[in-house]
Structure 1
Amino acid sequence: MQAISELFLPDSKLAKTLPGFAPRAAQTEMAAAVARALDGKQQLVVEAETGTGKTYAYLVPVLMNDGKAIISTGTKNLQEQLFHRDLPALRDAIAPKKVVALLKGRSNYLCLHRMKQATAHSGELNKTVQSQLVDVRRWAQRTDDGDIGSLSLLQEDAEVLPQVTSTADNCLGRDCPDYEDCYVVKARKRALEADLVVVNHHLFFADMVLKDVGFGELIPEAAAVIFDEAHQLPDIASQYFGESVSSRQLQELAHELKVLYLTELKDLKQLDKAADKLLAGLRDWRLVFPADAQKGNWRQYSQQPKVQDAAAQVTEQLEFLQEVIKSSLGRHQDLDQAYDRCVQGVSKWQQLQATDRTGFSFWFETTVRQVTLHQTPLRVADKFGGYLRESNMSWIFTSATLAVGDDFSHFTGQLGLEQAATLSLPSPFDFAGQALLCMPRYLPQPHERSMQDALLDLITQVLDANRNGGTFVLFTSHRMLQSIAVTLSAVIDRPLFVQGTTSKRELLNEFIAAGNGVLLGTSSFWEGVDVRGDALRCVIIDKLPFASPDDPLLQARVEDCKLRGVDAFAQVQLPQAVITLKQGAGRLIRDAQDKGVLFICDQRLVSKGYGGLFLSSLPAMPRTRSVPLALQFLRDLDQHNSIESAAEKLVTEESRV
């Protein structure tokens, strides 16, 4: 324990070798707590607010510990940042002999077999995909690890990527002719041999529930698992403990069978016919759903006669395809593998049609062309908590947002962490001097029609005051975002960045480069975004982020609470909204030198009794209801006036709310 604390002293090895390293009391406290949990094979939950330095606080004890460890992050971007930026210098400084590895899901790696297949059948691809395939083949000649993320010529959603990567469904495994050169196999071999493996939450749970064959042997070998951005875990765990089936999966199967008929099994005309029937049935299936992309309650929607008829047609076509494939088993390895996928597809499809089972939410989501059916368990605490209790491992959960007020029970209860110690560490930033929270007076209620015009008026006032700084406007709905974007683009004279117009990473880079840009974003920009300095001086949140009452998973959880005699608002809706608001508010102050204003445009913060719970969960910054005072705060930043003078005005001109 003493050795861990000594590494965080002003004259320590870390201070001497890592640029910009400075001792922080909260960081040292967290590192000591993590070290105790590792030594005692314990569960630990740590809320470490922005600026605590939680990454080093768990990396240092892990690197100093003898056992194998897995670190799981919330996103692939954070995973790469941790592996490429944070880990190398730290490992070199304190544990140079430790072997570290980065492991992503299989769809992030080039599949040599599928690339060769796509090349052989390139004449059947459209011009865009053909051009992208040329770029992939050139890159394939020089890549060492096959990580698609390093293929910078292509966008993240390039059409060619499904053609040159594999999934758990279509991977041939050891039967693949390119198995010995497989990049996924090589990456997993490196992970098995490493002392420290960096994964992401989706990959971790895919392994945990054995959905991704071949990776399941990694977790049992670990002595410790550390979850960063752990607030995401309950929802992700629910996805992986459930089931889903998409029309896209079934369409890909049918298309691959048609290619197999055209190239390898030309005498199997019945195979081509069965695949065409399934494709036609899936097109009809999409037409019984609304044209716009949306989510809905599948248990209710499935009761419509037209939906039942379309589903019955797909069932019949799937079973017909299964029989056709079965009659020719043994003729080709790709056909044999397709049979297994077809059997699984039939099973899942039939399971998702039986919506009378309790304990699950049945819901659907659509895109322009696809429909996905989901069966999601309402509670994962028993399964996940039981898994932890049976393991002889240390489990560390950390995030800037885990508690509601000072209470961790919402998070620990969702995951069944009955034996976890908890620790709350406040931010070292001077929020009282660096930031201001404004809750504007006289705004309409969030549901009122006039709210959009009022919000637009506030945004334009803010932009006029924040001339030389950047502004985030965070929305709880895409509809409001798009409406504001259309009007705002016609009335402002500075760079406007709208979520969805390009990739998140590119949008963020362009926003930072602009210096005084305006970024409109929804859920994906409420967390995992780090913009420092004048590039982000103001964050505007349109309303409290309660989940949509139409969300089918929320509806099912609310109904489950009613059946158990529990207050669904207090137990489900309110805690999740508090944690989400903390994430959004956390975008503003990311550094000890950052200064800015947070606007929350929702009267319920002061008019409803639960508003106090939201406010008590936010950093302790001065509060005002006066928009002119908040705008003057921003102007003072532009004029390089002292932040103290702005704070003094608040004290003298208006009492704190």
Structure 2
Amino acid sequence: MTPEEIAGLLGDGGPFSGLPGFAAREPQQRMAAAVADAYEREAALVVEAGTGTGKTYAYLVPALLSGKRTLVSTGTRTLQDQLFHRDLPRVRDALRAPARVALLKGRANYLCLYRMKRARGLPALRWAWDRLRAIEDWARRTDAGELAELGPVIGEAREDDGLVRQITSTADNCLGSRCDDFEQCFVARARRNAQAADLVVVNHHLLLADFVLKDQGFGQILSGSDAIIIDEAHQLPELAAEFFGRRVSTRQLQELARDVQAEAQLQPDLSALVEAAQVFSGDVTRFEQLFAGLPQRQPLTAFLADDERRRVAEQVGDSLAGLRQMLSPLEERDAEFAAALERAVGLLERWTHVLREPPPPAEAEAAALHEVRWVEALIRGGSVNATPIEVADDFQRMRETYPGTWLFTSATLAVGEDFGHFSRALGLDDAQTLRLDSPFDYARQARLYLPSGLPEPNDPRYPLAVAAAAQPVIEAAGGGAFVLCTSHRALRQIAERLRAQLKLRVLVQGDDSRSALLDAFAEDGNAVLVGTSSFWEGVDVKGSALRCVIIDRLPFAAPGDPVFEAKLDAIRRRGGTPFFDLQLPEAIVMLRQGAGRLIRDPSDRGLLMLCDPRISSKAYGRRVLASLPRMPVLRELDAVREFLSTL
């Protein structure tokens, strides 16, 4: 079929016209035609598709009809599930396409049979034996082994759950094909299904990890793909920097020490290895303690300026090297020791790379243009990191390794009409671009309120001034409001003031899980939800439950982050302007994500309130406003009340 014929399938009278809620949309048809053309030419295409375009159908239709093996990558597990369990079946059924499809998530989402059996013998897990028995019973019945099937037995806080960490594998501790349970392994089974499918749904973390880590014992999911579709592509540059860099956390080091000690204790001739693992664990514990009270992120040089931190870091490296040396002759003894040796080798390589001595002054300036080394304080302990400042070359190498069609799409990729900020970050100079406005009638459905009289955002009184300006707006709306904050400090102050002043239900990020807060908000219908970054995107509340979105200030990146500061410095070295080349474009993209929470359906109506006075007082404010959907601007509270009275 030609691109035009494929676009016609999404028109009136096509196979989708009978689906509930479906309406022919010209932007959707244009996108479908462009995607089909990219499939024909095996080209790269970047598409910004405004909210309501229907981009998922616009790329699934040509993908399923192409006859080519396609990998679709989404931003989160939630979006993966939505695409695979809702959108994909509808499109496949409407087209009567016989394509084989598969869903593949990261290994942390699947039960590890080997580690589940091992967990039964760990005295430290006695507190969780009732849950473990329930998991063992489920393991005998499940086909997919996906932990989400367990519901409340697992809960949402998987990463912080001690039991879950013991019954799942990581790229570090997986035994791969050496495992006794490899044939029954849920991860291996899911990957085999993916390799046999015509269309596979993954997420960005898995996509990048598959290329960078190349897990041994499992086939690469990218191999054999003819087309890669990246949905929510605005997230990709930052995630790619994480994966193309190096990182070692104190948790990884402690887990290595624990696993080596547990295995060595089972064999009477390895008491020296038990002792070495204990010594290593003690060194890591001392290193963990050095993160207490530190800023969340800081440059490695600042962290190691303290003699004690430098000394303990060197001791951790020495004891890790000693542990690796003791594991080396045990590689052939069993799979556990072979895997532990691989982990020790990999961790030591990354540790040595990050903590190596600074280069000579003549080389330091050139090195600074490529990589930034930094540390991060975590809930317990921390991590050491080496992150590339730019990922364009690495990502181009990924595309060259897996040539074919590459589609990048999101509701927020351009700044105005310009895709340069996104394309440069990933080295997409050869990509065709297409920008499609939302089909929603913002002039009818929405209003933008720019309040006056607020202090400058750097004024300590600013969060309370925002709360005071938001209160009458929320009261006039009768609730149904998101208050999106750019910092946790602002969140605490604004939430406290609104709770004291409003008679409505005020939900606050941190009081419960993200999904529980969103469910409570939607069910209430008149609640107020105060949140930070995790609520700015990936949130879809249709209908009157959300009729007001209030944003406290322009979401410029917080100063002091070592990775961001290194990017700014690299721009200066090139002779660029950091504010206009990076800070403003990134703030605009994030602002558009937050503003996009308001209108999610053709019948939605609502008010967007931007509190930052710089939008009106600074010259760049015009650029900010031009990036938003065109809607009438209100500057007086009475006009706001009048509009809200019509909702």
Q: TM-score, normalised by structure 2?
A: 0.95
Work out the CA distance in 2 between the residues paired with 1:379 and 1:516.
44
2:228 maps to which of 225, 228, 249:
225
Match in the other structure for 1:503: 513
Q: 1:55-84: per-residue Cα shift (whole Å, max 9, x none)?
A: 101111111111110101011110110000
Residue pair 1:71, 1:227 contacting (<8 A) in 2 also: yes
Residue pair 1:385, 1:418 contacting (<8 A) in 2 also: no
**Which stretches in structure 1 are left out of the alignment for 5+ residues?**
638-657
Work out the CA distance in 2 between the residues paired with 1:179 and 1:111.
10
2:174 maps to which of 171, 174, 177:
171
Work out the CA distance in 2 between the residues paired with 1:314 and 1:292.
19
**Bigger shift: 564-573 or 404-413?**
564-573
Work out the CA distance in 2 between the residues paired with 1:492 and 1:131.
43
Work out the CA distance in 2 between the residues paired with 1:494 and 1:596.
18
Match in the other structure for 1:642: none
Residue pair 1:168, 1:211 contacting (<8 A) in 2 also: no
Residue pair 1:208, 1:216 contacting (<8 A) in 2 also: no
Match in the other structure for 1:134: 133
Match in the other structure for 2:188: 185
Q: What are the within-5 Å matches in structure 2 for residues 484-503 of structure 1?
A: 484-503=494-513
Q: 1:392 Cα shift?
A: 3.4
2:418 maps to which of 407, 410, 414:
407
Matching residue's letter, 2:518: L
Does 2:124 align with 1:124? yes
Match in the other structure for 1:282: 284
Matching residue's letter, 2:155: Q
Q: 1:326 Cα shift?
A: 3.0
Change (3 A) 1:377 1:434: same
1:440 maps to which of 451, 460, 463:
451
Q: What are the within-5 Å matches in structure 2 for residues 39-188 of structure 1?
A: 39-121=40-122, 123-125=123-125, 127=127, 129-153=128-152, 154-157=154-157, 158-188=161-191
Matching residue's letter, 1:413: R
Match in the other structure for 1:452: 463
Q: 1:459 Cα shift?
A: 2.8
Residue pair 2:463, 2:552 contacting (<8 A) in 1 also: no
Q: 1:99-122: per-residue Cα shift (whole Å, max 9, x none)?
A: 00001111111000000000122x
SS across alignment from 2:17:
helix
SS across alignment from 1:605:
helix
**Bigger shift: 210-219 or 149-158?**
210-219
Q: 1:500 Cα shift?
A: 2.3
1:466 maps to which of 452, 477, 496:
477
SS across alignment from 2:511:
coil
Work out the CA distance in 2 between the residues paired with 1:260 and 1:388.
41
Work out the CA distance in 2 between the residues paired with 1:498 and 1:213.
43
**Bigger shift: 611-620 or 386-395?**
386-395
Match in the other structure for 2:489: 479
Match in the other structure for 1:515: 525
Match in the other structure for 1:654: none
Change (3 A) 1:259 1:493: farther
1:575 maps to which of 585, 596, 601:
585
Work out the CA distance in 2 between the residues paired with 1:392 and 1:611.
41
Match in the other structure for 1:643: none
1:392 maps to which of 381, 396, 403:
403
SS across alignment from 1:160:
helix
Q: 1:258 Cα shift?
A: 2.3
SS across alignment from 1:199:
strand
Q: 1:346 Cα shift?
A: 1.5
Change (3 A) 1:183 1:559: same
Residue pair 1:498, 1:519 contacting (<8 A) in 2 also: yes
2:324 maps to which of 319, 322, 325:
322
Work out the CA distance in 1 between the residues paired with 2:103 and 2:532.
29
Does 2:377 align with 1:366? yes
Matching residue's letter, 2:114: H
Work out the CA distance in 2 between the residues paired with 1:321 and 1:382.
35
**Bigger shift: 69-78 or 333-342?**
333-342
1:203 maps to which of 206, 214, 217:
206
Work out the CA distance in 2 between the residues paired with 1:7 and 1:636.
38
Q: 1:429 Cα shift?
A: 0.8
Work out the CA distance in 2 between the residues paired with 1:631 and 1:446.
25
Percent of aligned pairs sharing the same letter: 45
Match in the other structure for 1:540: 550
Residue pair 1:495, 1:517 contacting (<8 A) in 2 also: yes
Q: TM-score, normalised by structure 1?
A: 0.93
SS across alignment from 1:221:
coil
Work out the CA distance in 1 between the residues paired with 2:493 and 2:137.
42
Q: 1:479 Cα shift?
A: 1.7
Work out the CA distance in 1 between the residues paired with 2:184 and 2:99.
26
Residue pair 1:292, 1:368 contacting (<8 A) in 2 also: no
Q: What are the within-5 Å matches in structure 2 for residues 253-272 of structure 1?
A: 253-262=256-265, 264-272=266-274
Residue pair 1:207, 1:216 contacting (<8 A) in 2 also: no
Q: 1:632 Cα shift?
A: 3.1
Q: CA RMSD in A?
A: 1.7
Does 2:189 align with 1:213? no
Residue pair 2:8, 2:29 contacting (<8 A) in 1 also: no
Work out the CA distance in 1 between the residues paired with 2:262 and 2:503.
52
Q: 1:377-424: per-residue Cα shift (whole Å, max 9, x none)?
A: 111112212432564301111100000010001111111111111111
Matching residue's letter, 2:203: N
Work out the CA distance in 1 between the residues paired with 2:511 and 2:274.
38
Q: 1:431-486: per-residue Cα shift (whole Å, max 9, x none)?
A: 1111111111000111101212211212322231121x411111111121123233
Residues matched between the structures, number? 632
Q: 1:293 Cα shift?
A: 6.7
Q: 1:142 Cα shift?
A: 2.1
Q: 1:304-327: per-residue Cα shift (whole Å, max 9, x none)?
A: 212211101211221222233235
Work out the CA distance in 2 between the residues paired with 1:189 and 1:330.
28
Q: 1:115-155: per-residue Cα shift (whole Å, max 9, x none)?
A: 0000122x22251x334323322322221100112220221
SS across alignment from 2:354:
helix
Work out the CA distance in 2 between the residues paired with 1:37 and 1:465.
48
Matching residue's letter, 2:446: A
Match in the other structure for 1:26: 27
Residue pair 2:541, 2:597 contacting (<8 A) in 1 also: yes
Q: 1:162 Cα shift?
A: 0.8
Matching residue's letter, 1:148: L
Work out the CA distance in 1 between the residues paired with 2:402 and 2:114.
37
SS across alignment from 1:484:
helix
Match in the other structure for 2:561: 551
Q: 1:496 Cα shift?
A: 2.2
Q: 1:203 Cα shift?
A: 0.6
SS across alignment from 1:217:
coil
Match in the other structure for 2:363: none
Work out the CA distance in 2 between the residues paired with 1:454 and 1:296.
31
Residue pair 1:106, 1:184 contacting (<8 A) in 2 also: yes
Q: What are the within-5 Å matches in structure 2 for residues 377-388 of structure 1?
A: 377-388=388-399
Matching residue's letter, 1:361: V
Work out the CA distance in 1 between the residues paired with 2:635 and 2:303.
44
Q: 1:30-75: per-residue Cα shift (whole Å, max 9, x none)?
A: 1001000001101111110001111101111111111110101011
Q: 1:215 Cα shift?
A: 5.0
Matching residue's letter, 2:508: V
Q: 1:298 Cα shift?
A: 1.9
